[in-house]
């Protein structure tokens, strides 16, 4: 697959993920999964202990966002794993 980078003001963005995941990539992905899982758990805990309904709702939405990010990362990893098999 031909990787066509797109240059932006924030750096180079690729339309497709690379075919090979380096050790550094793997460690960073692992960190992202851990950060999102931890943030999701903290939001859930804080929402469960909040007395203010608006704050509870905001924390629930924040936790759901982190859960979606975690699930998206896992989905990408599963697709990559299936392609490698």
Q: What is the pTM of this model?
A: 0.72
Two structure tokens written together for 67: 């859960």
8 Å CB contact between 1 and 14: no
- 3-state class (DSSP) for residue 14: strand
* pLDDT tens-digit series, residues 38-52: 999 999 999 999 999
How far is CA 4 from its chain centroid?
Answer: 23
pLDDT for 4: 59
**How many Å apart are CA 75 and CA 85, to the nearest integer?**
16
Dihedral sign computed on CA atoms, order 21, 25, 30, 35: negative
Beta strand 11-14 pairing with 5-8: antiparallel
């Amino acid at each position: 697959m031909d990787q066509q980078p797109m240059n932006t003001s924030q750096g180079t963005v690729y339309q497709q993920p690379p075919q090979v995941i380096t050790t550094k990539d793997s460690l960073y992905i692992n960190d992202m999964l851990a950060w999102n899982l931890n943030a999701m758990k903290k939001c859930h805990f804080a929402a469960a202990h909040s007395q203010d309904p608006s704050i509870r709702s905001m924390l629930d939405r924040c936790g759901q966002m982190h859960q979606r990010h975690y699930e998206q990362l896992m989905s990408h990893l599963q697709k990559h794993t299936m392609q490698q098999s």
